Amino acid sequence: MDTQCVSKVELSISCSNLLNKDVGSKSDPLCVMLQSIGNDKWTELDRTERVKNCRDPEFFKKLLLDYRFEKSVDLNDDFLGVFECTLGQIVSCKKLTRPLQMKKGKPAGKGTITLSI
């Protein structure tokens, strides 16, 4: 019998100062939530809607997932930045704002992401 305590959590996501990768307009960002499945491999859990021409999106769609207490994907889109953390870090802070990074740990301009439970 599984005695783990599992709760549903809802993540609200916004970003600010995203890089602009489009020519002639602003980028059209979306946020994709990935989960590590080991051996440097990831699986997509959910994604937000795409916000057209916006460097400071507040995504309407909330991302739902299971939180268990105590316990690679080709997006075909311009890469605007990444932030990696555990769900436990977000739950313990209630609201977490961190800088976005490009691959290899370089800053993604002044871009930030905010996650809240």
Nearest-angstrom CA–CA distance, 29 and 48 = 9
Nearest-angstrom CA–CA distance, 102 and 93 = 24
- Topology (CATH level 3) of domain 6-116: Immunoglobulin-like (2.60.40)
Question: What was the pLDDT predicted at 54?
Answer: 92
Question: What was the pLDDT predicted at 2?
Answer: 52
| Greatest extent of the chain over all pairs of C-alpha atoms, in Å | 57
What tens-digit pLDDT sequence spans the chain (117 residues)? Answer: 455 667 788 889 999 999 888 778 888 999 998 888 888 888 898 999 999 999 999 999 999 887 765 545 455 677 888 888 888 888 888 888 898 988 777 888 888 888 888
pTM for the full predicted model: 0.64
Q: Where are the domains of the chain?
A: 6-116
Nearest 5°: the CA angle 35, 8, 30 is 50
**3-class secondary-structure state, position 6:** strand
Nearest-angstrom CA–CA distance, 89 and 103 = 22
